[in-house]
Amino acid sequence: MMGVFLQFLTAILLVSVSSMGPCSKFNKYDAEVICEDLCLKEFPPMEGFTATTFKLNGNSFSRITDKTFPHGRAAEIQISRNDFPMIVEASAFHHVSSSLAVLKLQNVHFDFDEVFEPLVGLEALNTLEIGNMKYSRNLTVPFLDRETMNRLIRLDIVHSGVVSVQPEALDSDFPRLHHIGFSYNKLRYIPEGIKRVLSKSGLRSFELDLSHNFLDTLVQEWFPLDCTITDLNLAYNNIISIRLRALNNCQLLRKLDLEGNYGLHYISPSVFPSNCHLQPRMDISVQNSGLRNVEFVLRSCVGKVFYWNSNIPCTCRYISLL
């Protein structure tokens, strides 16, 4: 009799738990809610949640409305790898406009041909990643209002088929920006719009991520004279040539990633900044590239003195060929 009762009680508990949905293990008072790769078609009800971080990647949402995040406390929201383009209503983040600092949206129903209204008025936003996996496009007009752009510290436009960026598309002084990324796009060169951002940044530390594009060469003209790039990520492009003095304008460069450029077989020492003593330690990553012997360029670089130009000594902290 006791066994039958226990089976009955277990069945009730299972039904109760399953009815709560795939995010049932999260208490509404948890600081973080993670509902990833569950093929959810509807957002879990957020009423009463006190969480500040929501990771809702890998689902099948169709629309984000002002009822999706009603509690007004979210500091970070991630909704990427969605199965199809989401419609984001203009008031979608209205309730979290004063708290939302980090927003990552991928596969959004948005064509970059006008200001993206849902981002207007987000007072705390400083990190934005947006992408929608659509066809090739030229960015020609601002898709963010000036106030939003001026607040950003990090900006990434990914998986969006971008082939060019006009200066008008990023029409801001970006006083706080220290990272801009256009990874997983279709760039074959560094566009004027990105070059303009590089020359605008007044910060002494700047990251440029152009990994997973179609760049096949590097030339000095792509970088402004007052370039402040410290970290340059060119991994998994089609780079086969780095022209002489290509990085001469990047006097602050301290990290260069050339991983996965299989056609790159030669680097001349003269491509690097001439006054490398400003950044005596540099990380260079060339694994999975076409380079097989770089000792003639980096001259016993690993943990030893490396002479870039004339008699200016520099040390290289890291290099890997495998």
DSSP-assigned letter for residue 124: T
Question: For the segment 222-268, what is each residue's pLDDT rounded down to a tens digit?
Answer: 998 878 898 999 999 999 988 888 988 888 888 888 888 888 877 77
Boundaries of domain holding 293:
30-320
What integer is the mean pLDDT of 32-42? Answer: 87
DSSP-assigned letter for residue 77: E
Residue 183 lies in a domain: yes
Residue 22 lies in a domain: no
Q: Would you say residue 181 has pLDDT above 90?
A: yes
Residue whose structure tokens are 């089609």: 238
pTM, whole model, 2 decimals? 0.83
Residue 236 lies in a domain: yes
Query: Poorest-confidence range of 36-40, 112-116, 309-313?
Result: 309-313
CB 94 within 8 A of CB 117: no
Residue 228: per-residue pLDDT: 85
Residue 62: per-residue pLDDT: 92
Q: What are phi and psi for residue 261, nearest 5 degrees?
A: -90, 85
CATH number, domain with residue 96: 3.80.10.10
Residue 217: per-residue pLDDT: 93
Q: CA torsion 203→79→144→229, rounded to 10°?
A: 20
| Amino acid, single-letter form, for residue 7 | Q
How would you class 232 by CB atoms within 10 Å of its CB: exposed for 0-12, middle for 13-18, buried for 19 or more? buried
Confidence of residue 311 (pLDDT cuts 50, 70, 90): very low
Residue 2 lies in a domain: no
* More confident site: 293 or 34: 34
Number of domains within the chain = 1
Residue 76: per-residue pLDDT: 95
Residue 284: per-residue pLDDT: 76
Mean pLDDT value across the chain: 79
What are the residues facing 131 on neighbouring strands?
A: 106, 158
Neighbours of 88 (CB within 10 A): 22
Confidence of residue 278 (pLDDT cuts 50, 70, 90): very low
* More confident site: 10 or 29: 29
Give me the count of residues in the chain. Answer: 322
At 169, is the secondary structure helix, strand, or coil?
Answer: helix
Residue 18 lies in a domain: no
Q: Structure tokens of 303?
A: 């943990």
Residue 11 lies in a domain: no
Confidence of residue 23 (pLDDT cuts 50, 70, 90): low
Residue 17 lies in a domain: no
Q: Would you say residue 187 has pLDDT above 80?
A: yes
Q: What are phi and psi for residue 235, nearest 5 degrees?
A: -65, 145
Query: Poorest-confidence range of 46-50, 163-167, 183-187?
Result: 46-50
Quote the CA–CA distance of 69 and 120 in Å, as a whole number: 16
Residue 254: per-residue pLDDT: 80
- Please report, rounded to a whole number, the percentage of residues in the chain having pLDDT higher than 70: 76
Residue 87 lies in a domain: yes
What integer is the mean pLDDT of 16-27? Answer: 48
Distances (CA, A) of 132 to 29, 120, 138, 222, 274: 32, 19, 14, 27, 40
DSSP-assigned letter for residue 97: T
Confidence of residue 171 (pLDDT cuts 50, 70, 90): confident
Residue 92: per-residue pLDDT: 93
